[in-house]
Amino acid sequence: MSESGDVAVQTRPDHVAVVEIRRPPHNYFDVNLIEELADTYDKLAAGSEVRAIVLAAQGRHFCAGADFAGTSTAAAVSAEEGAPALYRAALRLFTAPIPVVAAVQGSAIGGGVGLALSADFRVASPETRFVANFSRLGLHQGFGLSVTLPAVVGRQKALDLLYTGRRVGGQEAFEIGLADRLAPAEGLRDAALAFAAEIAAAAPLAVRSIRQTMWADLVPAIQAATEREASEQAILRATTDFAEGVRATAERRDPRFTGR
């Protein structure tokens, strides 16, 4: 087990590496954390021992995205430079050559859904919740969700989830393809490890080649989308609706939007 900053890495004999985010309980991200994850992926890819990665998180929840309310130790993601820098770092996750299986326990919220969708696969439990809640914050979606979400669940379902910002439970996530496998909460990480081990048992050079081909068209689209996402977010963060959305979320109440 090696640990640097907020990311721990465990390399297993079956050629699977567990990359664990350690910012419990909500595992909010910032630019530094996403860069650290990308650096970790690059280091693992530089060797020949690791053939698949399980992206996991310590604590109750997978990832609650960016901490707009400023209640954690995560650095603020500013509208000016923070979001573009964050999404440049995020793009490196999509271009990593090693397949990634995300073990999504608890909740993946906002950009946390985007992080889960940077992986090739997601393993969830019936208790898992995916919440692309940007519209409930008065904000545009980010982290490449404009491309990755419809690619996984289809355009119409993506519009449903983005417009409403509603919660999607693990069973529904599995039914619509947002989760690839469903496992009991207590066995979720083991199920992700078993899935990753299946991938690692295949010819590693072939798997890397297949991944590069399968992501080749998506990566440029994600890059273009994140540039627009960051621009739209900067505009919307100056609105009273965004301030109300963040305040309502912190106060655990329904937002009262005015369209200003």
Per-residue model confidence as pLDDT tens digits over 132-173: 999 999 999 999 999 999 999 999 999 999 999 999 999 999
Contacts with 79 (C-beta within 8 Å, 6 or more apart), sequence order: 233, 234, 237, 238
State how far Cα 227 lies from the chain centre.
17
Coil vs helix vs strand at 18: strand
Give me the half-sphere count of Cα atoms (radius 13 Å) on the Cβ side of residue 29: 33
Tokens 């889960």 correspond to: 116
Check pLDDT > 70 for residue 17: yes
Check pLDDT > 80 for residue 232: yes
> Which of 107, 28, 122, 115 shows the shortest CA–CA distance to 75?
28
pTM score over 0.75: yes
C-alpha dihedral (244, 129, 142, 23), degrees to nearest 10: 90
For the chain, percent helix, then strand, then coil, each to nearest 5? 45, 15, 35
